[in-house]
């Protein structure tokens, strides 16, 4: 159920003249787990809106599963690429949680038992099964955010894009989002997250794309992107390497963007020292 996404020399200029994308080339293979990072206005949201046709390139083209997105309606592309927006309150409309989650799959012509199952699975994935019959507006912000994610998961799209899924979440919420992402990835779906949370990015993604002023400035694994030589590039877009990355660099252990990688590197060094000593 996985598909390939190709963005080819895409330039996008808003009607007010803002050049939000300034020549972006990006290929995301089936089942990849990618984080897109960069400060507000760097073009992240503009870029992902090209994946389901909400925005159409001024120049260049977007290929979804080998076909030019220009030939399809947003409603058609939505079956391929699910996009959960940052602010849940810009989409929640149904009185009941269940109805909200069913909206997307219903638009994709899911009916009957298939629809029910898609809704149940999505609610389960975000941990809202118990709130299925609650009023959507009675949920707190963090749970409304999970509801918005569930409403996209229920569409069972091969590609899932989550815009800032961890903002406003506490430790449990962040852990929940991480498990959602890992589960989707394990199912072989392509997952793209947009995030300002570098720890989340380093720990959950296998590829990190850094954007600045409408261009991609870094693209690689977390270890590559958070390696010391890239720090100035990160700083230029107000991103900061994680603490484990900074400590690892100070100790000349190489690039250790996550706690686990730093602990492993330290343990390996201790073992070597013990052998030599």
Which positions lie near other proteins, rule CB under 8 A?
39-41, 49, 52, 54, 73-75, 78-79, 82-83, 85, 87, 89-94, 103-104, 107-108, 137, 140-143, 151-152, 155, 167-174, 196, 199, 231-232, 235-236, 238-244, 246-247, 250-251, 259-260, 262-263, 266-267, 270
- Find all residues with CB under 8 Å of 78, minimum gap 6, and list them: 52, 104, 107, 108, 155, 157
- Are the CB atoms for 11 and 22 separated by under 8 Å? yes
Q: What length does the chain have?
A: 277
Q: Which is nearer to other proteins, 1 or 243 (CB)?
A: 243
- Are the CB atoms for 194 and 36 separated by under 8 Å? yes
CA 216 – CA 47 distance, rounded (Å): 11
Q: Which is nearer to other proteins, 62 or 152 (CB)?
A: 152
* Residue 201 Cβ vs other proteins, minimum distance, rounded to whole Å: 11
* Residue 16 Cβ vs other proteins, minimum distance, rounded to whole Å: 12
* Residue 31 Cβ vs other proteins, minimum distance, rounded to whole Å: 21
Distances (CA, A) of 177 to 37, 90, 171, 215: 17, 20, 10, 27
Q: Which is nearer to other proteins, 141 or 221 (CB)?
A: 141
DSSP 145-179: HHHHHHHHHTT--SEEEEESTTTT--HHHHHHHHH
Q: Which is nearer to other proteins, 158 or 241 (CB)?
A: 241
- Are the CB atoms for 84 and 54 separated by under 8 Å? no
DSSP 185-203: HHTT-EEEEE-S-HHHHHH
CA 271 – CA 277 distance, rounded (Å): 10
Q: Which is nearer to other proteins, 57 or 244 (CB)?
A: 244
* Residue 103 Cβ vs other proteins, minimum distance, rounded to whole Å: 6
What radius of gyration do the chain's Cα atoms show? 20
Q: CB count, 10 Å around CB of 99?
A: 16
Q: Taken in order 71, 73, 74, 77, is the CA torsion positive or negative? A: negative
* Residue 55 Cβ vs other proteins, minimum distance, rounded to whole Å: 9
* Residue 236 Cβ vs other proteins, minimum distance, rounded to whole Å: 6
Q: Which is nearer to other proteins, 186 or 269 (CB)?
A: 269
* Residue 78 Cβ vs other proteins, minimum distance, rounded to whole Å: 4
Q: Which is nearer to other proteins, 9 or 269 (CB)?
A: 269
Q: Which is nearer to other proteins, 63 or 213 (CB)?
A: 213
Q: CB count, 10 Å around CB of 41?
A: 14
* Residue 54 Cβ vs other proteins, minimum distance, rounded to whole Å: 5
């Amino acid at each position: 159920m996985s598909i390939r996404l190709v963005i080819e020399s895409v330039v996008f200029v808003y009607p007010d003249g803002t050049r939000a994308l300034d020549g972006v080339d990006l290929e995301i293979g089936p089942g990849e787990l990618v984080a897109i990072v960069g400060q507000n206005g760097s073009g992240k949201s503009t870029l992902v809106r090209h994946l389901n046709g909400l925005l159409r390139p001024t120049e260049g083209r977007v290929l979804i599963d080998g076909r030019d997105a220009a030939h399809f309606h947003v409603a058609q592309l939505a079956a391929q690429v699910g996009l959960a927006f940052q602010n849940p309150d810009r989409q929640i409309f149904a009185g009941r949680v269940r109805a909200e989650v069913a909206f997307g799959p219903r638009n994709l012509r899911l009916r009957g038992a298939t629809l029910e199952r898609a809704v149940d699975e999505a609610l389960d994935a975000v941990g809202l099964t118990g709130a299925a019959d609650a009023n959507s507006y009675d949920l707190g912000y963090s749970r409304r955010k999970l509801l918005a994610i569930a409403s996209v998961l229920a569409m069972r799209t091969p590609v899932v894009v989550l815009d800032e899924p961890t903002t406003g979440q506490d430790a449990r919420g962040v852990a929940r989002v991480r498990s959602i992402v890992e589960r989707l990835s394990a199912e072989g779906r392509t997952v793209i997250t947009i995030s300002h949370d570098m720890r989340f990015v380093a720990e959950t993604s296998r590829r990190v794309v850094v954007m600045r002023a409408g261009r991609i400035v870094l693209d690689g694994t977390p270890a590559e992107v958070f390696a010391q030589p890239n720090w100035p590039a990160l700083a230029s877009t107000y991103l900061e390497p994680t603490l484990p990355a900074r400590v690892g660099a100070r100790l000349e252990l190489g690039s250790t963007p996550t706690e686990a990688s730093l602990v492993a590197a330290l343990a390996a060094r201790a073992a070597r020292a013990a052998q030599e000593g």
